[in-house]
A = this chain, B = another copy of it.
Amino acid sequence: MSNSPRMIDVRQSVLSKNDRLAQELRARFDAAGVRVLNLLSSPGAGKTRLLEETLRRLGERYRVAALVGDLATDNDARRLARSGAAVRQIETGGLCHLEADLVTSHLEGWDLAGFDFLFIENVGNLVCPTGYDLGEHGRVVLMAVTEGEDKPLKYPGTFQWANLVLISKLDMAEAAEFDAAAAHESIESVHPDVTIIATSARTGAGMGEWMAWLEALRAD
Residues of A within 8 A of B (CB): 1-4, 6-7, 10-11, 14, 17, 42-45, 70-73, 75, 94-96, 99, 123-128, 144, 146-148, 150-151, 153-157, 169, 171-172, 175-176
Contacts and interface: CB of A to CB of B under 8 A. Distances in A.
Task: Give this chain's copy count.
Answer: 2
Given A7-B10, A96-B127, A128-B127, A75 B150 contact: yes
Given A126-B124, A127-B128, A43 B7 contact: no
Q: What's the dominant secondary structure at chain A's contact region?
A: loop
B73 A150 contact: yes
Contacts of A151: 43-44
Nearest to A49: B148
A6 B10 contact: yes
Given A96-B1, A96-B127, A125-B127, A157 B44 contact: no
B148 A44 contact: yes
A2 to B, nearest CB: 4
Contact of A146 (B7, B95, B156, B169): B169
B127 A126 contact: no
Contacts of A71: 127, 154-157
